[in-house]
Structure 1
């Protein structure tokens, strides 16, 4: 049986999060005499392993409930970018073998560093504008990274990478745990929660290392 690789990060009250962290309350509990446990969570749309839909930065663009299935399910190429210090460039993507891929995941040093910390790091690895434009020019459908934002640290005021990707209709996956994923081709199944009309949603994602998959 083929091993399924889970690249999701756990959701809990002390997790790494941009802004307000998740909270929950118990609505019913068996210890109080109820038949079952029932919890209610207060989380942001950008919690945990999640997708940014194009409407995150482009008015009128696709929302999470209207993303085409072809964007989020299909062959994906995991790129080894662990040597990059802070900003993934177009040259980095070419050197890592991204050409020809329609869906890409960036394995960086984040997976064993910034992603493992409960608070935002002072620095992390993100995709730079030149890398974003390189993907857009080649008709890429999906791009994911192992941190809570695709944006490189130097650009989190005007968010040019997000603007470029969203304008091109590229679905963004953030907070993917790629620490145990070897570079190469996989079959990806990413299923965003279909929040109607919204710009983002948690998106449980798994990879299947099936033989013969050409990402």
Structure 2
């Protein structure tokens, strides 16, 4: 059985921080949950099999998505409840859970993330040139996009590159965020086009927008 990864049992302080997505709230802790540069996104309970913390959060009937990064948890709600009513309950739960040394993950998300990125960059039918381009895109997303997007409680990850089209996944507060598609086009697409001439367009899986 994989060793359970737990946060250190110590006094924990947590504050809630609004994100550009009105349905998502970022809960920032004074302790580390994950290594820097690693994050995990759970769009539903079934996806959270490797995170006891996320499973516990899904027990709240208004929790629809959980995103965990280095020192914060972004929670996306599914109902018309107001955050003013939900924040105290969630903050109390997170504080108690982490202070008690509750397990955060049952497998190392860093290893899973590295494997997923390598698989995405080296698909079997991709040419060597496309694999090199994919790796450049992954590096740019990791070094330039991720730090900025994490400040808003989410992440944008690489899924595929084919014939000039980059497909990404929106995670955490970015999923369903009204401003995410604007950021995608005006920010990320322009960056990738400038740094990787082969890129013609950036699209997000499951997102349709007109520009």
Do the two structures share a fold, i.e. TM-score over 0.5? no
Which is helix-richer, 1 or 2?
2
Instruction: Compute the TM-score of the two structures, normalised by the length of structure 2.
Output: 0.24
Larger RCO (alpha carbons 8 Å, 6+ apart): 1
Instruction: Compute the TM-score of the two structures, normalised by the length of structure 1.
Output: 0.23
